[in-house]
Chain A
Amino acid sequence: SQTIHQWPATLVQPVGSPLSLECTVEGTSNPNLYWYRQAAGRGLQLLFYSVGIGQISSEVPQNLSASRPQDRQFILSSKKLLLSDSGFYLCAFTDTPNSPLHFGNGTRLTVT
């Protein structure tokens, strides 16, 4: 069966420090991969999506970046975190047209 793993579950980082969040998918190949951010009490904001290795589309200009070094691995990064980067980050995937998004358990990031 298909599973998605996302880590770490929680992270507290100082302003100006780097960030790396990792997401991996199992049980499928060539999935579409997505990074979302959810601010406290708010809806979902799409940050990046990828339809294949090395193919990244950015939805919101910001100091975050994403990479897809392997078919089922999706990484969210930042060189220098801002206070406004705090939030709940969710990785998700789909693998066939019209199939639903499947989400990871999320990473709670607090920038201090």
Chain B
Amino acid sequence: GNSVTQMEGPVTLSEEAFLTINCTYTATGYPSLFWYVQYPGEGLQLLLKATKADDKGSNKGFEATYRKETTSFHLEKGSVQVSDSAVYFCALSGPGNQFYFGTGTSLTVIP
């Protein structure tokens, strides 16, 4: 079946530190992969996506590469800011437009 596993949080980093949030998936076929961000009290916003193997999604300094060989889609950012504090969700879309989400990783960036 389809599932997403992402690293447990919470993650606390100092401003300008390097960020990695791990995400691995299990899927039948060739899913699309997504990262979403949720700021406190808000809905989820699409951060980036990748639709096929070796695609790199990027947005706002965040990047993630669709790695079919390791079934991974790790989120990275070279220098985090306080404004990046949020919960991050990894997700995949499977057949029939079904979506599978990880449990979310809370990130806090301290000045």
Contacts and interface: CB of A to CB of B under 8 A. Distances in A.
A52 interface: no
B97 A103 contact: no
A59 B97 CA distance: 14
A56 to B, nearest CB: 15
Interface stretch (B11-19, B45-53, B66-74): B45-53
A49 B94 CA distance: 14
Contacts of A42: 103-104
Q: How many interface residues does chain A have, given as a range?
A: 20 to 34
B43 to A, nearest CB: 4
A22 to B, nearest CB: 15
Interface of A is mostly: strand
Interface of B is mostly: strand
Contacts of A90: 43-44
A6 to B, nearest CB: 8
B68 to A, nearest CB: 16
Contact of A108 (B41, B44, B103): B41
Contact of A105 (B43, B51, B101): B43
Nearest to B47: A100
Contacts of A101: 34, 36, 44, 46, 91, 93, 99
B81 interface: no
A88 to B, nearest CB: 9
18 contacts: A32-B97, A43-B89, A43-B101, A43-B103, A44-B44, A44-B89, A44-B104, A90-B43, A90-B44, A94-B93, A98-B51, A98-B93, A100-B32, A100-B34, A100-B46, A101-B34, A106-B41, A108-B41
